[in-house]
């Protein structure tokens, strides 16, 4: 219960009082923006013509300009944010929507269109409410934050830390985070503290904290977590859940967690916490073999790794897959035949451009793995391609015989390697870049 009081104190003291204190200056910012000349790549910030985010400079302008935080934005291409590691004396990217004199939060719309933001770096152990966004607040019942795809992110904050957002009052969907997330209390792959719904989102991270840690959210209030998954490994002390560390009056459905859960007390497969008795979990699963956890709160089912690799496990519970219509026609899920999520279900939009017609997929030996510089192939390849965990090709090489590949410039993280040998046989392997 002390953690719940802690969260309420955060909300009451750090938000509502802050909001009232800065209301006047925020209203002034709405006037200022009418006289500001935007330097984004396009658009005018309206819903009909959002500001276009296509470069790292666009992201920096958004971060540095609270007068724009009530506007609409759309990302138009992949962005490499590797330079953020050198920003602000090593603190990295400044979260959008952090409290300022001009605006206390982000209350606009951002649609990332699933384009990647790669290598985002935030390192501020004194900053509460940390993520790509700091605070987000909804302006409607539609999805205000969607399609944000953080790849190989490295995010460290104090408490209330998430990949996408620290504290969210926004409807969120189609978001994903891979990389590392670290904080103290209330730490999650998507959000630290989340109000309203999270749909069609996933994390594949190493998430480290102290108390109230979850693969999707640290703590969930109201709304749903639906059609989402966590492949993240979780590390902390207490109240750690595969999807959420705690929840109040929420619903979790058609979701799963498959990562490691490491801590001391209140370790649960999907949902932990003191408030969670008011939350209902349906048609959702966690991996007992990997997590080592036999119980969860509110519902859900612990399964073996083999059971979680079977499509029927999910379709028999009403999950909407691409090649069936009994459970719906949205085609939300598909089984991972490309080994980008170790064979577990993925979203239909995740595509590593690997042909499903590959008739001969065989094993090769890649070493060392994890790799720091060169990766070697026991059987030489004539073609090799490397994909990030969202399925985007980031490196390709063709040669008569490739016995090793230099990955020194590749950012740290998890990748998928697909190789083709002289006899046209295909080999696929997950690799870890140190």
Residue ranges covered by each domain of the chain:
2-347, 366-433
Q: Which long-range contacts (CB under 8 A, 24 or more apart) does 347-354 make?
A: 347/200, 347/202, 348/322, 349/114, 350/390, 350/391, 351/391, 352/387, 352/391, 352/393, 352/416, 352/418, 353/385, 353/387, 353/391, 353/393, 354/418, 354/428
CA distance 164 to 161: 9
pLDDT of residue 434: 84
178 phi/psi in degrees, rounded to 5: -125, 150
pLDDT of residue 26: 47
pLDDT of residue 136: 95
pLDDT of residue 20: 55
Q: How far is CA 129 from CA 91, 125, 182, 410, in A?
A: 14, 11, 12, 29
Task: Please give the structure tokens belonging to residue 287.
Answer: 């991996």
Q: What CATH code would you report for 2-347?
A: 2.160.20.110
User: CA gyration radius for the chain?
Assistant: 22
Using the 8-state DSSP alphabet, how is residue 106 labeled?
B
pTM: 0.76
The model's pLDDT over 158-217, given as tens digits with 9 standing for 90+, comes to 999 999 999 999 999 999 999 999 999 999 999 999 999 999 999 999 999 999 999 999
Chunked into runs of 10 residues, the chain (434 residues) has average pLDDT values of 47 51 48 54 95 97 96 96 96 95 90 95 95 87 86 96 97 95 98 96 96 97 95 95 95 96 94 84 94 91 93 97 95 90 92 40 67 86 82 80 88 82 71 83
The answer to whether residues 306 and 279 touch, using CB atoms and an 8 Å cutoff, is: no
- Consecutive H or E run containing 401: strand 393-406
- CATH homologous superfamily of 366-433: Macroglobulin (MG2) domain (2.60.40.1930)
């Amino acid at each position: 219960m002390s953690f719940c009081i802690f969260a309420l104190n955060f909300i009451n003291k750090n938000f509502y009082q802050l909001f009232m204190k800065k209301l006047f200056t925020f209203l002034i910012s709405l006037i200022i923006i009418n006289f500001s000349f935007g330097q984004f790549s396009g658009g005018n910030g309206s819903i009909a013509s959002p500001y276009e985010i296509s470069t790292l400079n666009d992201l920096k302008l958004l971060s540095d300009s609270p007068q724009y935080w009530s506007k609409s934005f759309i990302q138009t291409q992949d962005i490499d944010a590797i330079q953020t590691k050198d920003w602000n004396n090593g603190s990295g990217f400044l979260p959008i929507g952090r409290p300022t004199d001009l605006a206390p939060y982000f209350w606009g719309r951002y649609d990332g269109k699933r384009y990647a933001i790669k290598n985002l770096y935030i390192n501020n152990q004194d900053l509460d409410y940390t993520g790509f966004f700091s605070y987000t607040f909804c302006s409607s019942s539609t999805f205000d934050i969607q399609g944000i795809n953080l790849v190989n992110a490295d995010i460290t904050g104090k408490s209330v830390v998430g990949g996408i957002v620290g504290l969210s009052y926004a409807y969120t969907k189609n978001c994903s985070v891979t990389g590392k997330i670290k904080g103290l209390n209330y730490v999650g792959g998507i959000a630290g503290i989340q109000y309203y719904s999270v749909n069609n989102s996933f994390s594949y991270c190493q998430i480290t904290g102290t108390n109230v840690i979850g693969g999707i959210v640290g703590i969930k209030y109201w709304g749903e977590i639906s059609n989402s998954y966590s492949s993240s490994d979780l590390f902390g002390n207490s109240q750690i859940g595969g999807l959420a560390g705690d929840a109040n009056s929420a619903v979790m459905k058609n979701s799963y967690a498959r990562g490691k859960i490491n801590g001391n007390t209140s370790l649960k497969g999907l949902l932990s916490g003191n408030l969670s008795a008011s939350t209902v979990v349906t048609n959702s699963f966690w991996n007992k073999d990997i997590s080592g956890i036999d119980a969860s709160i509110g519902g859900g089912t612990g399964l073996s790794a083999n059971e979680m690799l079977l499509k029927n496990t999910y379709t028999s519970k009403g999950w909407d897959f691409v090649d069936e219509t009994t459970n719906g026609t949205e085609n939300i899920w598909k089984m991972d035949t490309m080994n980008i999520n170790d064979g577990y279900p993925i979203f239909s939009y995740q595509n590593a451009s690997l042909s499903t017609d590959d008739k001969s997929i065989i094993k090769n030996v890649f070493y060392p793995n994890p790799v720091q510089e060169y990766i070697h192939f026991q059987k030489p390849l004539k073609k090799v391609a490397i994909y990030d965990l969202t399925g985007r090709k980031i490196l390709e090489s063709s040669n008569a015989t490739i016995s090793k590949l230099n990955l020194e410039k590749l950012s740290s993280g998890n990748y998928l390697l697909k190789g083709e040998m002289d006899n046209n046989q295909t080999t696929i392997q997950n690799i870890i870049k140190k």
